[in-house]
Chain A
C-alpha cells in the first residue's frame, strides 16, 4: 500500500519538525524570562509610602500592575487566589501604573470577593520607589513594616497556576521563615527605572 517515500519528503518533514522545535523553544524562553526586579530605595520606605493603607498589626500585600499588560489578568487572578488562601490574614492594595492621557483607574477592584483599593501611580514613580520595575511585582510588608517578600506570584508570563512566590507569602503570613523571600516576576516592563532617584 505504501510506496517508497522520497528522501526530499522525509527531509522536509525533519526541517518542519526542527522549525517547530525552534519556535516552541523561543516561545517557551520568552514565557519564562522574568522581568527586571528592583529594590526599594530603603527597606522601610514601602511601609512609609503606603502608610495610609496599613492597619496596625496587619501585614499588607502590595501588587504593582500595568493595566494593559496581558499578564496582569493572570497576576490578579493569582493574587485573588492568594488572598483567599490567606483567609484574611493580610490587607492588600494595588498600585496601578498610569500613563498620561490614560483613563483614571477605579478606586478599588474586587479580588476573591474582597474589595482591594487601587492606587494610581502616574508613570510608575511610586513603583520605582517600592522597587518594582515589572508588572505583577508584589511586596509583603509585615505588621512591623518590614518587607518580607518581593517578586512575582505567577509561574511564567501570563500563566496561572501555583508558583513559589505564593508559597513564600503564605509562609510569612503563617509566621514561618525569616528574612526577605524573593521570586521572579513575569510581566511587562514598567519602564520606570530611569525615574529611580540617585542613591543618597
Chain B
C-alpha cells in the first residue's frame, strides 16, 4: 500500500510531466526504480560510515579519555563507555533498519538522526573542539546524497533541539556563557539552515535531473521496443520469404528430377516410336503377299496344273518360293528382334517410373539406406542419356555404412548432379566424355558420394557463388538447382561441396551424408 507523504506532492510538482500523459506511469516506475537504486547505494555508504564512526569514537575515547581519576585511583572513563555503548546504539540502530526496510522513509530519518547523533558524540569526546563541529555540516552533506530533501529537516531539527535544550539547561556547554538567549540558538541554527538551503536546492535539482533521465530513458525504451517490433516484423517477413524461397527451390529441385525422368522416358519413347515405325514400314513392304499371288496363280491352273509346272513359269516357281521363304524368314527375325527391343524399352520405362514412384513416396521421411542403392537409382534415370551422348560412366563403390536420409532429397540431389555433369561435358569443347561416380566413407561417420566429370570446370571466381540462389552458368539455367541441392543436403545434416581445378578441367561435386550411428 502506498503512503502519501505531504512532501511527495511538492517534489512531484517540481518534476516536468512527460509529453504524453499516458507515459506518466512508466516514467514514474522508472523513477521509483532509480530512486531505490540511489537509496540502496547511499544506505550502503552509510553502513560503512556508521561502522567507521563507531570505531573512530572508541579509538578517540581510548586515546583521549580512557580513564577518570580520583587521586591515584582510576576507573573507566564515561567517555569510553559512551563511545562503546552510545556509539553502538547510534550505529546499530540505522544499520539494522537499513537491513530490514532499506527503502522506508523512516529508515532514512533514523539515518539522519544517527548521523547528527554521531556529530554530538564526537564533539563531546573531543572536548567540544570547534573543529569537530564541522562534522555536522559534513553529515548534512552526506545525507543530501540520498537526494531526498526530507531527511535534511530531520537532521536540522535534531541539531536545533540539541542546542535549544542544552542552551536551556547547560548553556555553558553550548555557548560558553551561563545565560544564553534563544537568539543564540537561532544564530547557530541559521548557519545549519544556510547549508540546508543549498543542499535542499541541490536535492531538488538532482531529483529533477533523475526524472529527466527517466523521461529520456522511457523514450529510449519506447523507441527501442518500437524498433524491436519492426525488426521482428521484418524478420518474420524475411523468414516467410525465405520459406517461400526454399519451397520454390524444392519445387525447382523436384522439377529437375521430373525433367530428368521425362527426358529419359521421352528418349525411350522416341526409340519405341522409331522401332514401331520401322516395323510398320517392314510390314507394309512385306513380301508375304507374294504367297497369296502364288496361291491364286496355282488355283487358276486347276486341271492344267501339271502342264503349268512344265512351263517356264512353273519351272521358276520353286526358286521363287525358296527366295520368298528366305525373305520372310529374315523379316520374321527382324520383327522378332524389334519386338524384343520394344519389350526391353517398355521394361526400361517401367524401371524409370518405379524408381521415381519409389522416391516420391518417401518425401519427408528419413530412412536408413545404403548409398550405393541411391546412386544406382539415380544413374538409372540418366543412363540412357549418358549412353546416347556417348558418355563413359565409371563407378567406384566402396563398402560404406548406411546413411539416414530422405530418399527423395538424395535422389533430387544426385539426379541434379548427374545432369549437371552431363550438361557440363556436352558444353565442353574437350574430347573426353567421362563421369566418375565414387561412394566412400569419410571421417566423422559420414558417407561421401562424389560425381566427377570431365566437363567445362568452374572458374575460381564462380567457386564462391556456385551454391548461391539464382547463380548459373547455363544459358537456359535458372540457378535454383545447386542452391536447392545444398539446402536439401543441410536439411539432412549433410553437406554439398564443389571443387574444380579450373575452367576446362572438370569439376567434382561431393555430397556428404550422415551415417547411421
Contact = CB atoms under 8 A, between A and B. Distances in A.
A100 interface: yes
Contacts of B90: 20
Interface stretch (B102-110, B296-304, B457-465): B102-110
B89 A3 contact: no
Contacts of B169: 28, 32
B71 A190 contact: yes
Interface stretch (B122-130, B182-190, B415-423): B122-130
A159 B128 contact: yes
B100 interface: yes
Interface string B56-84: 00000000111111111110011100100
A155 B113 contact: no
Given A66-B69, A189-B69, A155 B128 contact: yes
Contacts, number: 133
Interface in B160-204: 166, 169-170, 172-173, 176-178
B106 A10 contact: yes
Contacts of A73: 127
B120 interface: yes
A27 B117 CA distance: 12
Nearest to B82: A27
A24 B2 contact: no
A70 B65 contact: yes
A159 B70 contact: no
B3 interface: yes
A188 B69 contact: yes
B93 A16 contact: yes
B101 A31 contact: no
Interface residues of B, number: 51
A4 B1 contact: yes
Given A24-B117, A160-B129, A189-B71, A2 B3 contact: yes
A110 interface: no
A90 interface: no
Given A28-B173, A155-B172, A9 B69 contact: no
A69 interface: yes
A189 B78 CA distance: 14
Given A1-B32, A3-B1, A16-B89, A191 B73 contact: yes
Interface stretch (A41-49, A56-64, A161-169): A161-169
A13 to B, nearest CB: 6
A52 B15 CA distance: 78
A10 B106 CA distance: 8
Contacts of B69: 66, 68-69, 135, 188-189
B68 A188 contact: yes
A175 B228 CA distance: 91
A161 B2 contact: no
Contact of B104 (A5, A71, A162, A188): A5
A144 interface: no
A164 B170 CA distance: 13
A74 B126 CA distance: 10
Nearest to B97: A13
B100 to A, nearest CB: 7
Contacts of A27: 78, 82, 86, 121, 124
A23 interface: yes
Contacts of B100: 9
A92 B93 CA distance: 49
A17 interface: yes
A17 B128 contact: no
Contacts of B128: 74, 155-156, 158-161
B85 interface: yes
A13 B113 CA distance: 11
Given A23-B85, A156-B170, A99 B72 contact: yes
- Among B32, B70, B85, find the residue whose CB has the most chain A CB atoms closer than 10 A: B70
A160 B131 CA distance: 11
B110 to A, nearest CB: 6
A73 B128 CA distance: 12
| Complex A-B, nearest 10 residue pairs according to Cβ-Cβ distance, in ascending order | A191-B71, A70-B65, A99-B72, A162-B176, A159-B128, A155-B172, A188-B69, A161-B176, A158-B127, A191-B70
29 contacts: A3-B1, A9-B101, A13-B106, A13-B110, A16-B93, A17-B113, A19-B89, A20-B89, A20-B113, A27-B82, A28-B170, A31-B124, A66-B69, A68-B74, A70-B67, A70-B68, A71-B127, A97-B71, A123-B72, A155-B173, A158-B128, A159-B128, A161-B176, A163-B172, A164-B177, A189-B70, A191-B70, A191-B71, A191-B73
Given A31-B173, A102-B72, 19 more contacts: A3-B1, A9-B97, A19-B89, A20-B93, A27-B78, A28-B173, A32-B169, A69-B68, A70-B65, A70-B67, A74-B128, A155-B173, A158-B127, A159-B128, A160-B128, A161-B130, A161-B176, A188-B70, A189-B71
